[in-house]
């Protein structure tokens, strides 16, 4: 229901603002402002989006909760979409979302209304908890078998990776 109201109200607000502002400053200046905010918005979105991606990567690398950096990145993306949409109301909301204090306030408000569940890296029962090895790390039981190239006969051997390992996967 709220989405329907937004799809009706936002264009009506934008049309009213275009008429008012265009009547005050003229068509040329109105179009220049709309174009300028789109250019400024794309620049700000690119720079702040890169910072948000760095925060997301850092949270993954440090194994910390990525909720806040992901939400911040999503708000920056949404702000960019609003700034690229022609209009004064959407530009104002988009510019506000590009301000870190506003994003933090929006995140706090959303966090109160959205139930976020977190999980630990291993949430099995006590019988399935990992053991500690002699060097202090977790011990994970597993089975393996060595592959003899003669076992494959005339079939192809499994291929080795042709690319270097990335930060996401280890080979």
146 confidence band (pLDDT: 50, 70, 90) = confident
Establish if 120 belongs to a structural domain: no
- Phi–psi pair at 15, nearest 5 degrees: -60, -45
* CA 46 to each of CA 14, 26, 36, 85, 139: distance values in angstroms, whole numbers, following the listed order: 25, 31, 15, 16, 43
Mean pLDDT throughout 129-158?
66
Cα(71)–Cα(66) distance, integer angstroms: 9
Establish if 88 belongs to a structural domain: yes
Query: Measuring CA to CA, which residue among 85, 84, 78, 82 is closest to residue 106?
Result: 78
Q: Is-above-0.85 flag for pTM?
A: no
What pLDDT, on a 0 to 100 scale, did the predictor assign at position 122?
47
Establish if 139 belongs to a structural domain: no
Q: What's the structural domain count of the chain?
A: 1
Exposure class string for 67-99: b at 16+ Cβ within 10 A, else e: ebbebbbebbeebbebbbbebbbbbebbbebbe
Sequence-ordered alpha helix ranges (H) in the chain: 2-25, 27-61, 67-84, 88-97, 100-113
Mean pLDDT throughout 97-114?
89
Establish if 64 belongs to a structural domain: yes
Mean pLDDT throughout 141-157?
69
Pairing of strands 131-132, 138-139: antiparallel
Mean pLDDT throughout 110-116?
80
Q: Token match 């996967």: residue?
A: 169
- Phi–psi pair at 132, nearest 5 degrees: -90, 130
What pLDDT, on a 0 to 100 scale, did the predictor assign at position 78?
92
The answer for residues whose C-beta is within 8 angstroms of residue 12's C-beta and 6 or more apart is none
Q: Which of 70-84, 107-121, 128-142, 143-157 is predicted with the least confidence, judged by mean pLDDT?
A: 128-142
Establish if 62 belongs to a structural domain: yes
12 confidence band (pLDDT: 50, 70, 90) = very high
Residue 108, both tokens:
């706090």
What pLDDT, on a 0 to 100 scale, did the predictor assign at position 151?
67
Mean pLDDT throughout 61-74?
87
Establish if 84 belongs to a structural domain: yes
Percentage with pLDDT > 90 across the chain: 26
Mean pLDDT throughout 91-108?
91
Question: 19-23, 40-44, 144-148 — which one is most confidently predicted on average?
Answer: 19-23
Query: Measuring CA to CA, which residue among 13, 90, 100 is closest to residue 51?
Result: 100
Residues of the domain holding 31: 9-112
């Amino acid at each position: 229901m709220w989405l329907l109201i937004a799809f009706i109200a936002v264009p009506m607000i934008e049309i009213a603002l275009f008429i008012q502002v265009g009547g005050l400053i003229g068509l040329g200046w109105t179009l220049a402002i709309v174009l300028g905010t789109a250019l400024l918005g794309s620049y700000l979105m690119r720079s702040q989006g890169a910072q948000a991606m760095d925060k997301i990567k850092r949270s993954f690398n440090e194994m910390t909760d990525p909720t806040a950096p992901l939400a911040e990145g999503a708000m920056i993306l949404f702000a960019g979409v609003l700034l690229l949409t022609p209009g004064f109301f959407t530009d104002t909301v988009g510019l506000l979302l590009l301000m870190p204090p506003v994003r933090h306030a929006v995140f706090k408000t959303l966090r109160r209304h959205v139930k976020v569940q977190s999980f630990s890296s291993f949430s099995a029962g006590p019988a399935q908890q990992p053991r500690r090895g002699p060097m202090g790390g977790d011990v994970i039981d597993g089975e393996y078998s060595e592959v003899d190239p003669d076992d494959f006969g005339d079939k192809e051997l499994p291929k080795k990776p042709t690319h270097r390992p990335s930060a996401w996967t280890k080979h």
